[in-house]
Structure 1
Amino acid sequence: MKIGSTLFRRYSPLLLLLILSFSGKAQYFGQNKVRYKKLDFKVLQTPHFEIYYYIKNDKLLKRFSQEAETWYKMHQEVFRDTFLKKNPIILYNNHPDFQQTTVLNGEIGIGTGGVTEALKNRVIMPVMELNSQTRHVLGHELVHAFQYHLLLEKDSISLENVGQTPLWMVEGMAEYLSIGKKDAFTSMWMRDAMLNRDIPSLKDLTNSNKYFPYRYGQAFWTYIGSQYGDTTIVPLFKNTAKYGYENAIRYTFGYDDKTLSGLWKNSIDAHYKPMLKADSSQIKITGTKIIDNKNAGNMNVAPALSPDGKYLAFMSEKDLFGIDLFLADAKTGKIIRKLSSQISNGHIDDFNFIESAGAWSPDSKQFAFSIFSHGKNQMMIIDVSNGSTISQTAMGQVQQFGNLTWSPNGKDIAFSGMVEGQSDIFSYNLDTKAVTQITNDVYSDYAPNYSPDGKKLVFSSDRAAIQANTINAVLPINLAVYDIATKTVSNLDVFPGANNLNAQFSSNSQNIYFLSNRDGFRNLYKYNFADHSVDQLTDYFTGISGITEFSPAISVSATDDIVYSYYRYQRYTLYNAKLSSFTAKRIGNHEENFDAAILPPMENIGVNIINSNLNNFDRFEKIVADSMKTVPYKPKFRLDYLANSGVGVSTSRFGTGVAGGIVGMFSDILGTNQIIANISVNGEIYDAGGLVGYINQKSRINWGAAVSHIPYVSGFRSYGYQNIPTGDNTTINALADRTDIIRTFEDQFQVFGAYPFSKIHRFELGGSFSHYGYRIDRYSNYYNADGYYIGSDRSRISNDVASNDYGIPFNSFTLYQLNAGFVGDNSIFGLTGPLDGFRYRVSGEKYLGTYNFAGVTADLRKYWRAKPVTFAVRSYNTLRIGKDADRLYPMYVGYPYLIRGYESNSIYKSTSAQSSESFDINQLTGSKIAVFNFEVRLPFTGPKKLTAIPSKFLFSDLNLFFDAGLAWTNDTQVKFKGEPTYTTQPVLDANKKPVVDEKGKPVTYQATTERVPAMSVGISLRVNVFGYFVLEPYYAIPFQRKDVKTGVFGLTFAPGW
């Protein structure tokens, strides 16, 4: 006798095809990283660096190279380390190009200034809008290069030790070594922490994401360098990498981290508290609070006040899942509508919002702003009455631009932009569509603003600092005025050592309002053209600020209203005030004091290497032209990493087996070509498999190829009586307990490619050739009639014998596959699944060779966010068609990730309780399936602003669901009713004649050719298990199942669809 599964006997050789249909969709959804243009990199070698570039600006490239070597000398004095090999730097012309980098596989956000990766210690960065920013980012990233070099080259520590070093230590160190202790922006953050009585401990910095690691880390390292000397920094960093920060502090200083936290906190209090005036005037805010975290978000930035003073456009994370553009009543702060978002407008890849603001038309009816779209910044103009798009325009060679200002005559929009790494002022004419370059020089010109009389543009610039031969690493940003009639630029002699930003003309064109850190704080000032005097209008203890020091934070209307962004409680709140309501205090044009900008402690007790060098940045000897040379580009293919999955040995009645694997990745220096190789074994030598794949990312089309040998192992156990030989040349009839190990070997070559139309949509195309073969090993244990073990053997049985035993062919076969698909995804993912946007996939596969069939899939998903819940809908349909469609292993619609309440194991367990005419498992299998799902998703536990119950550890969604699924074949009929209709059918023998019982009566059974939908409702809780996987326990009430009276509990492991 044989005991086994009928489905196995029918479909075993074709089970693999079901696996393949899913493995071919590994990138089933997901957004695209589009490379819109092919970049031709060249290589410039300096004494310590290889700079990969394509910029056509020799002066900038030379300056960049010299500054890289200057930073090397400065950092070397701290790290006491030497680069024996030239360190690679990949330089992009602008941020939009940088976001398309192939060096890194992940997405690059607009807030990322640069990245240093550990595998090849490559520094990847763009030229920034300001010379000072480019210098700072370069210095910051080269600190990381030294950090990685320190870990890679030392025997006692390795790259893995980075995991023991908190992010605030890694990033804070890079900030301190590239900025120093004089930083008005970070000081503002520290004053806010002191004022809020929220100075974190080192444990808080490590365990909480509340505290920005760059700012607080910089403040910490400033304290260490000032109190114990800059020579203490690297030993503490190395000890942290070896032992963790707690043990490292004890080892380095002789006391624990709590003591050091207390000393640091005391230093902050002692430094900033005396600066807080007793009358509390520094925390009394002028104007009316209109936008805060109650009616918007924590981050309300880039304010733009309409000329008539009635409306305010601003950016906010009000809806939690990214930054959107909102319109509000400028007087009351009432949110009128969302003007634009990435979800509602598929042309927007992202908003240029961190250091840019939009501009209103003179009639206050249209709004223009900068977006990221198709690999560059583009200007979008919308109708504020309904949010509709009027135009979307690229600015020719100006790939990156922002900070728009609309001319009073309504014909031109001026902005600051970049061409070949150089930041200048440009103007776009709305009638002629022409872009005009207004300034053209080595200086960084930034954030223009038109005078209401249309005669001038005021902007920020480093021209005065460069013309004055400033030697400090940080170049001050001053104010300049462009006369439109004479086309001349003049510098305003105001606070030459400070950063003066966000200049706005008054309604009469006689004054300029701007922000300055001239006293270490961040306040509002007014410049008077008549007598060149300056008045201070605010005296705030924290400051008026956007996300960065260079972010726009004020906007002035033609009615002399001002909206400004006030920083407090780590939030950005918008206030509206009349300019006449501020109390003006006359200040000398050169009256500067940066004590409040100094991070504590004020005095340096230890060796002061870093700040001394930063203050003399341009006094370091520059490398000469002879030490720089251009060399041909070479891919430099090398191993990125090699990892193993562990090795183990096991023994069992099937023999001794080995399990293990190794994976390696190779790539060139730019990441445009990648090779991935994997080999693994899990059992015997026959179970060894491997794959080698190649991916080309050089152009917009991503394509590749792979060759693989993969064994798939399955098993089957059976019992039967068998004559076996004995030692005296006789045989006995013994019970044979047989286990067959069936190996299916897949040898495959595949090619694949994808063409992304945008960040959201792409087209995929691929094909493969596969050959399948089998090996069957039989392990037999023999027992006599009394059940005693009498022997065993192992043998390889032929494919013909296996085919005869199982009644199915085990012949080798080949398959040719072609596939194509359209994919779209702009969804916003929540804690366990998407909460907004849409996803779709429409695809087809054609199989040729031994089996001939085709598959078509249409998977459509839509999510509507209606705080606090999301309404989610899915329509999933997949069909197999062709002459061999019904020969394949049938698809099962009862999997819980399709419909809940119809799992096969629960139906099998209750089979005995079902009548012959009940809804059975056959209703759930077929060559075609259709699924409809509806869910109401409530973020249940997790982040406070998102979920019903705040939790720092348990992230979950509570869901109400309705599921419906239908499976059918070519031989069945679809009926939309509660249950199928059964008819009495005779049992036929092999000759298709009716079978009769011992009384001569026909043997019959109940059968149906109808297929009806399976439906269920219920509730589930999806839990994000520490980011590793999503667990979903659920309770479902399956309507079609008569074997359950109420409902069924189930469990699945899958994110929300």
Structure 2
Amino acid sequence: MGQYKIYLYDTKTQEHKRILKNEHRLNQITDYSYPLLSWHPSGDVLAIILEEHGEIWFMYYFVSTDEYEINKLIYFDKIIDFSYSKNGQKFVFSAVVKGQTDIFVHNLKDHTNTRITNDIADDLYPRFAADGRQIVFSSNRDSDTLYNKVKKRGERLKGIKQPKLQKELDIFVYDYSKPFSLIRITNTPNINEKKAFEISERKFLYLSDKNGIVNRRIANFDSTILAIDTMIHYRYVSSNFPMSNYPRNIKEHDISNELYAEIVKINGSDKIFTRPLLKDENHFNQNVKNTEQRNLKNEKFEKIKNIENIKKRAKNQKKNFEINSDNKINLDSLILDIRDYTFEMEKNGKNISFIFDSLTRLSNIRKYKLPKHQIYETSFYTNKIVNQIDFSFLNFSYQTFTGGAVYFNPGGNILLKIGVNDLFEDYRLTGGVRFSGNFDSNEYLISLEDLKKRIDKNYIFHRQTFLISNANTVEKVFTHELFYILKYPFDQVKSLRGTLSLRNDKMVRLSTDILNLNEDDKYKNWSGIKLEYIFDNIIHKSLNIYNGLRFKIFAEAYKELPSKINKNFFEKKGNLFVVGGDFRHYQKIHRDIIFASRFAFSGSFGSSPLIFYLGSVDNWINLSAAVPTFNNSVEIDYSKNYAYQTLGTNMRGFSQNIRNGSNFAVINTEFRIPIIRYFAKRPINSSFLYNLQIIAFGDLGGAWTGLSPWTSENAYDNQTLIVDPITVIVDNDRNPIVGGFGFGFRSKLLGYFVRTDWAWGVENAMILPHIFYLSLSLDF
């Protein structure tokens, strides 16, 4: 429904405080029907009606103690409006039940509900009147009879008769002493009247669009004696007068004691005004003129009314029409001579066309047959097809530790991806294939999502192959993974996600020489569990331009399984634990210019930890032979028995592995300016120009082993030089924290979001030569 806040304003001190804030800002149509507010007559309790997760809650806020009390309202689909009685022991409300909008009264002593109306008419904005003996409300009913009450009274009605409906609202009064009929205050078929309050005996203040703009009016009603037999029969008469003449609509109004409050939109924003309550219509003597739109609407209404009157007269004449018995038709004159006849259309060379009533003609041709009811059977249809050049993996996961080799990037490849949904979008099936140019690193993915219930289920099979090379060996790695993912959404922005996984890595040593030829294949099997809490409250302004906050906190645990089932199956194997988080905030500067910031961290521990290579960006396409993708000059501690490796990004200005370790943390900041769109004064048809952004960025981060970045456990602090029989260990005194800054461009080109960055790294207080990055990815 969108984020809402409730403020309490003190008219004496002119100070306000926020007493309630709920929900989130969402990029969707806002539901302004909640929350509903009403003051208790004591003035110390503010009643609030809220809706959360499809349930209605009644909340009390106690002003003196600043405390809350909340109860659940059941049996109702939606509450439209409510108000307290004068003694505060009841409140009357308009509610939707099974598609009907009716009036109810809730007794606060015994918590019971009394239904006042029960028909198809919309009964809205109820208020108590006459010290609780009456209820004034607005309705689109055309009758003042409550047929549901007549039914209960035992009249000769076989079923509950429903009132006729009109387009606009009129004001009615329900009297507890006369529960079978209503008192009609206004009768204006072409005018809306709503939100009536009793300001004195038989005098009501309400909102009306009689002149085309919603203004205040006063209605007086009285009774005269109509007839006297065994009892006195009264006839009610009413008159109404204008009480305001604003050029803008009054959106809301309310009264309290001798004060009147209203909300009016001025200069694009809603303003609250309070004024002394005028109860005498003679105090207002302005001439209220109709708007041009109201005059046109009145003319149209009169034309429709005249047409309806003509139809009624024609219908009455048709009932009174009698056929003259003297003008009988001789049936013998209709006998046709089949040897001598002429069609009507052949007479005088004229073509005669017969015009029939379309409804009569269709009804005579055939009657519409309703289709046969059938049980729905799940069937799928194509929802998405992707066929393009791609530079990334179908499913990113940790890669097997290569002992210092370049972190693998698949490079250019052909991606084919297809997705199908069922009719109700309860199930989604996705399959993908990535064909590599060297045919050594193909990838396959198949995913089935079950979205039928609140907990979403996802089943994934992923197969990946690629080559890794060291100084003397080349290995081909076959990775097979199974995932079972459960997603539980708390609301539209918060969710909890759990993942169970099985992974098999097969490493085949290629026979580059006789030693590698004799090497056996290696197998690694891992089982894992992952738990994530996700908060995503961003508003997508445009591509790569967001407002709001999103973050993810996760924890992972992996256990190595034996490659063979034998007596050593339950022997202790390697384990890996990973925790981390990623926080991103997008602050609007002006229009579509934003300041984006990110803080990401992660750490691993266990007998077979995960190593993070700090440096570069995701999906980096390195076009320069002078700049290595991976920095081999930075030492890696092989004794740590690393199981997997991954990147710690973004750290622009460096190649991969400027720092490494089992922990990493980075801070990224960017100014994003959609330069063309910001200054353009006309629509931009080019997608490239519309999404073109200039970026200024700064990065700061580090990777380390141990609890602190400044411990002596970091392998990159030392450099080992071996010249037999001498071994020299050089202390490099490297600062674990590095940084980078620069500028770049972003835009959409040929269907891809392309990022270009020119970055200068800062290491040990020295600015390094710039590095150019070309990558295909969104955000950071």
- Post-superposition Cα deviations, 1:570-620, rounded to whole Å, max 9, x if no partner, equal 765555444539736899xxxx9964338999999xxx9xxx9xxxxxxx9
Alignment partner, residue 390 of structure 1: 68
Question: Separation in 1 of the partners of 2:583 and 2:554?
Answer: 12
Task: Give the structure 1 partner of residue 157 of structure 2.
Answer: none
> 2:297: which partner in 1?
597
- Give distance in 1, aligned partners of 2:167 and 2:747: 46
| CA apart distance, 1:504 | 3.0
Give the one of 530, 548, 556 matched to 1:819: 530
CA contact (8 A) 1:976 1:1012 kept: no
Shift of 1:409: 2.8
Once the 2 structures are TM-superposed, how far is the Cα of residue 515 of structure 1 from its aligned partner?
2.8
Q: 2:432 and 2:34 mapped to 1: Cα distance?
A: 44
Residues 802, 810 of structure 1: 8 Å contact kept: no
- Which digits, 9 at most, give the CA deviation of each residue in 1:1003-1022, with x for residues without a partner? 524246x8854154868789
1:645 to 387, 393, 399: 387
- Report the residue type matching 1:1004 in the other structure: V
Deviation at 1:522, TM superposition (A): 3.6
Q: Match for residue 373 of structure 1? A: 52
Q: In the alignment, which residue of structure 1 is the partner of 2:461?
A: 707
Mapped to 1, the partners of 2:51 and 2:514 lie a distance apart of 60
SS at match of 1:597: helix
Q: Distance in 1 between matches of 2:201 and 2:584?
A: 51
Q: Secondary structure at the match of 1:408?
A: coil
In structure 1, the partner of 2:648 is none
Q: Paired residue for 1:288?
A: none
The reply to whether residue 754 of structure 1 matches residue 754 of structure 2 is no
Give the match's secondary structure for 1:596: helix
Matches within 5 A, 1:40-79: none
Alpha-carbon offset, residue 558 of structure 1: 2.8
Q: Distance in 2 between matches of 1:951 and 1:801?
A: 63
**Structure of higher RCO (CA pairs closer than 8 Å, 6+ residues apart):** 1
Deviation at 1:562, TM superposition (A): 3.2
- Of the three residues 846, 858, 873, the one matched with 2:580 is 858
Instruction: Kindly indicate which of the two structures has a greater share of residues assigned to helix.
Output: 1
State how far apart, in whole Å, the 1-side matches of 2:634 and 2:741 are.
Answer: 23
Shift of 1:637: 1.7
Say yes or no: does 1:560 pair with 2:281. Answer: no
Per the TM alignment, residue 488 of structure 1 is displaced from its structure 2 partner at its CA by: 5.8
Q: Which amino acid is the alignment partner of residue 500 of structure 2?
A: G
**Which amino acid in 1 is paired with 2:254?**
S
Tell me which of 988, 995, 1011 is aligned to 2:724.
Answer: 995
User: Does the Cα contact within 8 Å between 2:613 and 2:658 map onto a contact in 1?
Assistant: no
Task: Answer yes or no: is the 8 Å Cα contact 1:412–1:429 preserved in 2.
Answer: yes
Contact 1:973 1:1011 in 2 (8 A): no
Provide the rounded CA distance (Å) in 1 between the counterparts of 2:8 and 2:673: 30
In 1, Cα distance between the equivalents of 2:293 and 2:424?
Answer: 46
Aligned equivalent of 2:234: none
Aligned mates of 1:675, 1:983 — CA distance in 2: 51
- The aligned residue for residue 213 of structure 1 is none
Q: Which amino acid is 2:703 matched to? A: A
Deviation at 1:354, TM superposition (A): 4.7
Gaps of 5+ in 1: 1-108, 111-321, 547-552, 613-619, 649-656, 721-737, 776-797, 899-903, 988-993, 997-1001
Give the deviation of 1:816 after TM superposition.
Answer: 2.7
- Per mean C-alpha deviation after superposition, the further-off stretch among 682-691 and 508-517 is 682-691
- Counterpart-to-counterpart distance in 1, 2:502 and 2:753: 33
In 1, are the aligned partners of 2:735 and 2:763 still within 8 Å (CA)? no
Distance of aligned partners of 1:585 and 1:974 in 2 relative to their CA distance in 1, 3 Å threshold:
closer
Please report the TM-score for the alignment, with normalisation by the length of structure 1: 0.48
Deviation at 1:1043, TM superposition (A): 4.9
Q: In 2, Cα distance between the equivalents of 1:464 and 1:381?
A: 37
> Larger Rg: 1 or 2?
2
| Partner secondary structure for residue 453 of structure 1 | helix
Structure 1 residue 750 displacement after superposition: 2.4
Asked if 1 retains the 8 angstrom alpha-carbon contact of 2:616 and 2:655, the reply is no
Structure 2 letter corresponding to 1:528: N
1-structure distance, mates of 2:59, 2:745: 39
The answer on 1:879 being equivalent to 2:603 is yes
1:765 Cα offset (Å): 1.7
Distance change (3 Å), C-alpha of 1:368 and 1:658: same
Matches within 5 A, 1:55-454: 324-327=5-8, 336-342=16-22, 352-354=31-33, 357-382=36-61, 390-429=68-107, 432-451=110-129, 453-454=131-132
Distance 1:746 1:422, change over 3 A: farther
Give yes or no for the alignment of 1:544 onto 2:544.
Answer: no
- Report the alpha carbon displacement of residue 554 of structure 1 after superposing the two structures with TM: 2.8
- Seen in structure 2, the aligned counterparts of structure 1 residues 864 and 1023 have a Cα distance that, compared at 3 Å, is closer
The secondary structure found in structure 1 opposite 2:418 is strand
Maintained 8 Å contact 2:663/2:704: yes
Cα deviation, 1:891-922, whole Å, max 9, x if unaligned, reads: 12334589xxxxx999869999999xxx9975
Aligned partner of 2:140 in structure 1 is: 462
Deviation string 1:299-328 (CA, Å, 9 cap, x unpaired) is xxxxxxxxxxxxxxxxxxxxxxx6544555
Change in CA separation of 1:1034 and 1:659 when aligned onto 2, cut-off 3 Å: closer
Deviations 1:525-579 (A, max 9, x none): 22223452111334456x5165xxxxxx33333323131334x777655554445
SS of the residue 2:296 aligns to: helix
Structure 1 residues 715 and 509, CA gap change in structure 2 (3 angstroms): farther
- Superposed CA RMSD in Å reads 5.8
- Tell me which amino acid in the other structure corresponds to 2:533: F
- Contact 2:487–2:495, Cα closer than 8 Å, also in 1: yes
CA distance in 2, matches of 1:982, 1:685: 40
The residue number in structure 1 matching 2:399 is none
Q: Which has the higher strand share?
A: 2
Which residue pairs with 1:212 in the alignment? none
| 514, 532, 549: which one aligns with 2:206 | 514
Q: Tell me: CA distance 1:879–1:335, structure 2 relative to 1, closer, same or farther (3 Å).
A: same
Amino acid at match of 2:126: P
Q: Which residue of 2 aligns with 1:272?
A: none
The answer to whether 1:483 aligns with 2:175 is yes
TM-score (ref. length: structure 2): 0.63
Does structure 1 residue 841 correspond to structure 2 residue 585?
no
Tell me if structure 1 keeps the 8 A contact 2:676–2:692. no
Identical aligned residues as a percent = 16
Q: Secondary structure at the match of 2:142?
A: helix
Quick one: distance in 2 between partners of 1:673 and 1:513?
55
Aligned pair in 2 of structure 1 residues 802, 819: CA closer, same or farther (>3 Å)? farther
The equivalent residue for 1:891 is 612
Trace 1:597-616 onto structure 2 (pairs within 5 A).
Answer: 597=297
The Cα offsets for residues 937-986 of structure 1, whole Å up to 9 and x where unpaired, read as 88866999xx999997778999998754232235x963189x99966855
Gaps of 5+ in 2: 146-160, 223-236, 312-358, 391-411, 564-572, 636-653, 685-689
Q: Secondary structure at the match of 2:529?
A: strand
Instruction: Show the counterpart of 2:449.
Output: 695
Distance of 2:137 and 2:533 partners within structure 1: 46
Q: Which residue of 2 aligns with 1:968?
A: 704
TM-aligned CA distance change 1:636 to 1:540, over 3 Å:
farther
Aligned to 1:1014: 737
Shift of 1:365: 4.5
Distance in 2 (CA, whole Å) between partners of 1:466 and 1:962 is: 72
Structure 2 equivalent of residue 492 of structure 1: 184
Determine the C-alpha separation between the residues in 2 that align with 1:403 and 1:515.
16
1:817 partner letter: G
Give me the whole-angstrom Cα distance separating, in 2, the residues matched to 1:914 and 1:745: 28
Amino acid of the structure 1 residue aligned with 2:416? G
Q: What is the CA-CA distance between 1:461 and the residue it aligns to?
A: 1.8
1:487: how far off?
5.3
Q: For the structure 1 residues 1024 and 835, does the alpha-carbon distance in structure 2 shift closer, same or farther, using more than 3 Å as the test?
A: farther
Q: CA deviation at 1:697?
A: 2.5
CA deviations on 1:89-110 (whole Å, 9 max, x unpaired) are xxxxxxxxxxxxxxxxxxxx68
